[in-house]
Amino acid sequence: MRSFVPKYIVGGVTLVRDSEAPAPGRLLLLRQPPGRGWGLPAGLLRRGEAPIVGAARELAEESGITVDPRELTPAVPNAVVHAKGWVDMVFELSVPASTTVLEVDGAEVYEARFHPIDDLPRLTVATARLLAYYGIGPLVAPDDPTSMARPTAPARDE
117, 149 in Cβ contact below 8 A?
A: yes
| pLDDT value at residue 8 | 75
User: CA–CA separation, 26 vs 148, rounded Å?
Assistant: 11
Q: What is the pLDDT of residues 6-44, one digit of tens each?
A: 567 999 999 999 999 999 999 999 999 988 899 999 999
User: CA–CA separation, 73 vs 52, rounded Å?
Assistant: 9
Pick 2 or 56 by higher pLDDT.
56
Q: What is the pLDDT of residues 83-107, one digit of tens each?
A: 888 899 999 999 999 999 999 999 9
- All structural domains of the chain, each given as residue ranges with its CATH number in brackets, are 9-121 (3.90.79.10)
Q: What is the pLDDT of residues 42-78, one digit of tens each?
A: 999 999 999 999 999 999 999 999 999 999 999 999 9
